[in-house]
């Protein structure tokens, strides 16, 4: 019995080493705002919008751009200072089956009771800790989606994000989107390549997420490909995505 256990352990070692040594092009964590300003319909629009964004042909192409260095993705939701929950744990989106399983996790999620407050600072801390678990990735990026300003807990600008790039997806009415976007630029974004994408309400979330994912996933593949002219331009606001 002991010999059998030792043999199984030796067989397991190469597999563990191979997985740990797999190059990772980008570790991308997405944090979704589920505070009190987000009703149940808007909650579903976020999850379904993200799931559908992963079906977009350009997003699929971007994910598959470097097969030897896949993208790792995870999704969590956040509201109050102590309210963060992983919806889809880290996964390498390197195949149709992996993407389908990731989408199923999102679509199968039921809303949980959380504080109604908006704690962006603690949401950043949670995302940074999740990204710190992903070794061997060329880039670490955190996506923070939200429809309001931070109002409780440690302030966003005081959170040390290290080398993590933080992008924002602002969800707001047309008359408030400029103000909230400016707030995100001043207090939430990190890194020289950071940017804010905008959604005019939650029904625009899917198209805004597609635009944001394409920007985030295009940086390294285009640099590695050498000739970026072979790829079409990124879609702009108002352009049909399908």
Q: H or E segment at 137?
A: strand 137-146
For the chain, residues with pLDDT lower than 50 are 1-20, 220-242
Is the full-model pTM beyond 0.85? no
For residue 190, the 8-state DSSP code is B
Task: For 183-193, write each residue's pLDDT tens digit.
Answer: 999 999 999 98
- Percent of the chain past pLDDT 70, that is, above it, reads 81
pLDDT of residue 219: 52
Across the chain, how many H-helices and E-strands are there?
A: 7, 6
Cα(26)–Cα(104) distance, integer angstroms? 22
Q: How far from 137 is each of 7, 14, 57, 144, CA to CA, in Å? A: 32, 20, 24, 20
pLDDT of residue 21: 53
Task: For 148-175, write each residue's pLDDT tens digit.
Answer: 999 999 999 999 999 999 999 999 999 8
32 beta partners = 77
What does the block give as tokens for 182?
């400016």
């Amino acid at each position: 019995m002991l010999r059998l256990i030792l043999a199984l352990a030796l067989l397991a070692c190469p597999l563990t080493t191979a997985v740990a040594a797999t190059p990772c092009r980008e570790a991308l964590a997405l944090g979704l705002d589920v505070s009190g300003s987000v009703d149940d319909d808007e909650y579903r629009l976020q999850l379904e919008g993200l799931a559908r964004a992963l079906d977009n042909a350009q997003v699929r192409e971007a994910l598959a751009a470097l097969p030897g260095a896949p993208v790792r993705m995870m999704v969590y939701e956040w509201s109050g200072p102590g309210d963060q929950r992983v919806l889809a744990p880290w996964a390498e989106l390197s195949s149709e089956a992996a993407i389908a399983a990731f989408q199923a996790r999102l679509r199968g999620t039921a809303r949980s009771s959380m504080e109604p407050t908006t704690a962006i600072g603690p949401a950043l801390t949670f995302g940074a800790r999740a990204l710190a678990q992903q070794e061997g990735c060329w880039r670490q990026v955190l996506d923070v989606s939200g429809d309001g300003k931070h109002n409780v807990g440690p302030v966003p600008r005081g959170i040390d994000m290290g080398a993590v790039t933080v992008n924002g997806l602002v969800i707001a009415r047309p008359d408030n989107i400029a103000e909230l976007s400016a707030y995100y630029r001043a207090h939430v974004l990190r890194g020289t390549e950071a940017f804010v994408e905008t959604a005019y309400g939650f029904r625009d979330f899917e198209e805004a997420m597609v635009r944001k994912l394409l920007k985030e996933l295009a940086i390294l593949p285009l640099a590695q490909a050498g000739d970026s002219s072979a790829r079409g331009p990124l879609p702009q606001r108002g352009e049909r995505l399908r």
